[in-house]
Every structure is written in C-alpha cells, then in structure tokens.
C-alpha cells in the first residue's frame, strides 16, 4: 500500500495513516472487500511501530471504514457511495467549522469567507 508518511509533519504518524487510508477509501481507490496489509507488514514497509499501525487500524475500524476478521486480517468495509459522500461532507464540516468561526471572530464577513473558499477551490481545480 502506497502511503506518504513523514516524521517531519506536525501530524502524528498514526493520524497520517488514518487520513491517507480514509481518503483512499472515500475516493474509491480502495474498493470494498479488498484486504489491507497486515499490521506487521505495513509497519515493516513504512518503518514504523506496530503499535502505530494497530492504533490507526482501530481508529479506521471505529469509523466503520474497515473491518477485521479473526485470523483473516483487515478489509475495506462495504460502504455505499451515498454513505462515503455523507462521511466526507461531515468531515469537511467538522474541519472547516473552527476555521470559519475564527475568521468571523477576526472580523471577516460571511462574503469574505465564501470568497476565500471559492478562491482556494479555483486554485485546486486549475492544478488538476
């Protein structure tokens, strides 16, 4: 499994694993039923602690994105496209809400916030 982990990030390795696997599942890059690398294998490939991978997998399992089967390993859960989209929207709202609150508290108007978001979206779309 191709993950881009770095210890130079302020985000813990466990969080990087969760975020990147979640993104691959929600984007459809990891389809339902596909098996994930074992905890030990992923730890060995990424040169990180088994505990770090175990905790990341447990977090993904709590979110309902993966499931474990005794003596079989971890597999991507069968989520509908609607469920994936809903999960992604909820995460977006959860992540944006504090940033928007801060911007409004610093004196920006709703239009300023919307314009900033639109500018960011245009830049991202143009990079594709």
Tell me the per-residue pLDDT of 53-75, one tens digit each, with 9 for 90 and over. 999 999 999 999 999 998 899 99
The predicted model scores a pTM of 0.81
Q: How many CB atoms lie within 10 A of CB 9?
A: 11
Domain assignments of the chain as residue spans, ordered by start: 13-76, 81-127
pLDDT tens, residue order, the chain (128 aa) = 789 999 999 999 999 999 999 999 999 999 999 999 999 999 999 999 999 999 999 999 999 999 999 889 999 999 999 999 999 999 999 999 999 999 999 999 999 999 999 999 999 888 87
Q: Which two tokens stand for residue 109?
A: 């108007």
Q: How far apart are CA 105 and CA 35, in angstroms?
A: 45
Q: How far apart are CA 92 and CA 94, in angstroms?
A: 5
Given a contact cutoff of 8 angstroms between Cβ atoms, the answer to whether 57 and 51 are in contact is: no
Residue 9 confidence (pLDDT): 92
Ramachandran region of residue 71, left (φ > 0), alpha (ψ -120 to 50) or beta? left
Given a contact cutoff of 8 angstroms between Cβ atoms, the answer to whether 94 and 53 are in contact is: no
Nearest of 56, 74, 55, 76 to residue 65 by alpha carbon: 76
Residue 2 confidence (pLDDT): 85
Question: Looking at domain 13-76, which CATH architecture does it have?
Answer: Orthogonal Bundle (1.10)
């Amino acid at each position: 499994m191709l993950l881009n982990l770095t210890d130079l990030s302020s985000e813990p390795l466990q969080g990087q694993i969760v975020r990147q696997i979640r993104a691959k599942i929600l984007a459809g890059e990891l389809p339902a039923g596909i098996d994930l690398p074992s905890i030990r294998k992923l730890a060995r490939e990424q040169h990180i602690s088994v505990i770090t991978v175990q905790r990341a997998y447990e977090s993904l399992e709590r979110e309902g994105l993966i499931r474990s089967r005794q003596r079989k390993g971890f597999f991507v859960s069968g989520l509908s496209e609607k469920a994936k989209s809903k999960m992604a929207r909820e995460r977006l709202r959860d992540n944006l809400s504090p940033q928007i609150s801060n911007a409004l508290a610093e004196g920006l108007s709703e239009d300023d916030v919307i314009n900033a978001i639109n500018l960011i979206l245009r830049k991202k779309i143009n990079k594709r």
